[in-house]
Homo-oligomer: A and B are copies of this chain.
Amino acid sequence: MKYLSVQETAAHLTACESAEILIHRSPDGDCIGSGYALLYALRQMGKKARVVCHDPIPERYHFMLPEVQTLELFHPELIVAVDVADEKLLGDGLLEQYTGKIDLCIDHHISNTEYAEALCLDGQAAAAAQVLYAVLKEMPVTITKEIAACLYTGLATDTGCFMYDNVSPRTLRIAAEIMEQHPDIPYAQINRNMFIVKSMGRIRLDQLLAGQLESALDGQCMLICVTRSLMEEYGLDESELEGIAGFPLQVEGVQVGIVMKEREKGVFKVSMRSADWVNVSAICQTLGGGGHIKAAGCTINGSAEEAKRILIDAVAKGMAKA
């Protein structure tokens, strides 16, 4: 494995005749935007390119795809992974097919497992799209409207619309440059579809979750317990419950948000989130789990009431220590 600079990466891509672009499973706005921005850039240079993903591209991201979906048959000279921190994130099937065969990875995850032969990594970048913008600027490529829309979507996705602490002055300036060169892209509409619009099912789920909020430790800890019986009552499956870990943190005054999901009878998979200063990784470690300072997890066995008591005790101790 060798690290490539932005210039070396640009030269590598410019030299190839064809490329297969791999993005991670459960694709989001950043890997789709970055993957297709690279595809458009390579095609602009007369090269063959295709994007490969384990899962279908969700409909709200279809505006980034080529108008005519051509199935290009070619044997790729270069296999490039974009926004893929770990080969495993390619998903089953693709993992077996591509493991050990990836020539180049363009990424922004500091945790990148260095699986590719060459790696262009900027762990400070807010999004893969931010790294890719730098690479494309070093290639003989025009940032067309379609490339611009893809890169903007990547930047917006991974920053929560420029909200999170991964935003740097550079992130904002790239968005400014894109907007200046392409004032006719419907940025606000893209943001609305990504950040505001929800399916009716998701609205009903939020409504249900709001009804399950339980307050502990004078409102400093908010907890949601999703039992098997609740899931059965409302016909929820596991996949619908992805991404709800942050829900309790939206309540004013909360420091620690907990979501407990009953995986099987009496076994709770716990996600713990910190709003600010509480180290939830340390708390989850006392319960046999772990993770990041602001996002951690563990598994608790017992009844829902026992599990809640154990969790709240651990949070109280963790907060007292800090």
Contact = CB atoms under 8 A, between A and B. Distances in A.
A165 B204 CA distance: 29
Interface residues of A, number: 44
Contact of A172 (B176, B192, B195): B176
A169 B180 contact: yes
Query: Which secondary structure dominates where chain A touches chain B?
Result: helix
A251 B172 contact: no
A234 interface: no
B196 A204 contact: no
B172 A179 contact: yes
Given A172-B176, A176-B172, A207-B211, A198 B250 contact: yes
A165 B192 CA distance: 10
A322 interface: no
Interface string A148-189: 000000000000111111011110110111011000001111
A169 B161 contact: no
A210 B251 CA distance: 17
Interface in A77-136: none
A82 to B, nearest CB: 24
B195 A251 contact: no
A294 to B, nearest CB: 11
Contacts of A249: 196
A203 B251 contact: yes
A141 interface: no
Nearest to A193: B252
A161 B170 CA distance: 17
A197 interface: yes
B172 A250 contact: no
B169 A176 contact: yes
A200 interface: yes
29 contacts: A161-B162, A161-B163, A162-B162, A162-B172, A162-B175, A163-B188, A163-B191, A163-B195, A164-B191, A165-B186, A165-B187, A165-B189, A167-B187, A169-B176, A172-B175, A176-B176, A189-B276, A192-B275, A196-B250, A197-B251, A198-B250, A198-B251, A198-B252, A199-B251, A200-B213, A200-B215, A200-B219, A203-B213, A203-B250
Given A167-B187, A172-B179, A203-B251, 19 more contacts: A161-B163, A162-B162, A163-B191, A163-B195, A165-B186, A165-B189, A169-B179, A170-B176, A172-B173, A173-B173, A173-B176, A176-B176, A192-B275, A196-B250, A200-B252, A203-B250, A204-B210, A206-B207, A207-B210
